[in-house]
Amino acid sequence: MKIDNHVHTHYCPHGSNEKMEKYVKKAIELGIDKITFTEHAPLPILDTVPDKDSAMNEKDVYEYLKEAKGLKAKYRHKIEINAGFEIDYIEGYEQETRLFLEKYPETIENSILSVHFLKLPDETYFCIDYSKESFIQKGEEIGYHMLYSIYEKTVLKALSNPYGPITPKKIGHINLIHKFEKSYQYKDMIDWVKLLKLAKKNGYILDYNFAGIDKEFYGKTYPNQMILDKAKNLNLKLEIGSDAHKPEEVGRYFIERED
């Protein structure tokens, strides 16, 4: 069965303006059996990136879910269509995120929990994947070891059922911290086995994400092969996703692969 369980839409401010239906048609063209839209849920904090385009607007949530539901009915004989969110785990805003999830319980099983924002020692929040320049600047400012250490601790919290029984149980691109790794010198000291064992213990699934292959300063899947091998040794379940932000990115790379 071919699936793509990590797909964004035109409701994403940093994505394509193409309608959701075009993503569905691309999936059908590729012979994909199931597609899951996982739009970036509205943030519980002020967006810290310059363009303020990290996530969808609260006012668009209803239309997003309505459009997905309509497509699900229209194409029910050709492809399974689901809709959830990519939820940001943001330390200190667990209650706000829990309240959001409680409003849309039907989306939880189709949602992904990801870490894009880190709470720094000065109580500010930093988006780790916005740009190479901002990551290097922050790494030189507070130290790469500090950045990686905070990331590890944040992912541990995300893997610890932060919203109780309504916590989405798929962890997105678990090693996103590596996105710009070719542009600086630092030996990763994160205990990935510890993270993976916690994921296994708490019933999480790993987002096996192919977007990283297209990242200039990374060029691999999330997780990378080393982490992937450790995950497989633990019998940790994977779910494939393109992390598409354009219709042409649906099913990218993994459709041709056998894993």
Convert the pLDDT of each residue in 197-229 to its tens digit: 999 999 999 999 999 999 999 999 999 999 999
Q: Tell me if 186 sits within 8 A of 147, measured CB to CB.
A: no
Q: What is the CATH number of the domain that holds 83?
A: 3.20.20.140
Residues in the chain, total: 259
Predicted confidence at residue 257, as pLDDT, reads 66
The domain of 174 spans 3-256
CA distances from 36 to 48, 98, 250 (A): 27, 21, 11
Number of independent structural domains in the chain: 1
* Helices then strands, each counted (H, E), the chain: 7, 9
Q: For the residues 113-125, what does the mean pLDDT come to?
A: 97
- What pLDDT, in 10s, does the model give residues 42-84? 999 999 999 999 999 999 999 999 999 999 999 999 999 999 9
Predicted confidence at residue 160, as pLDDT, reads 98
Residue 50 burial (10 A CB sphere; 0-12, 13-18, 19+): exposed
**Exposure b/e, 9-21, CB count within 10 A at least 16 = b:** bbbbeebbeeebe
In this predicted model, which residue has the larger pLDDT, 258 or 248?
248
Confidence grade of residue 255 (pLDDT, cut at 50, 70, 90)? confident
Distance CA 57, CA 49 (A): 15
SS3 138: helix
- What pLDDT, in 10s, does the model give residues 130-185? 999 999 999 999 999 999 999 999 999 999 999 999 999 999 999 999 999 999 99
Cis peptide bond N-terminal to 121, omega within 30: no
Predicted confidence at residue 111, as pLDDT, reads 98
Predicted confidence at residue 256, as pLDDT, reads 73
SS3 170: strand
Q: Tell me if 7 sits within 8 A of 51, measured CB to CB.
A: no
**Exposure b/e, 103-112, CB count within 10 A at least 16 = b:** ebeebbebbb
Whole-structure pTM value: 0.96
- Indicate if the pLDDT at residue 258 is higher than 70: no
Q: How many other CB atoms sit within 10 Å of the CB of residue 77? A: 5
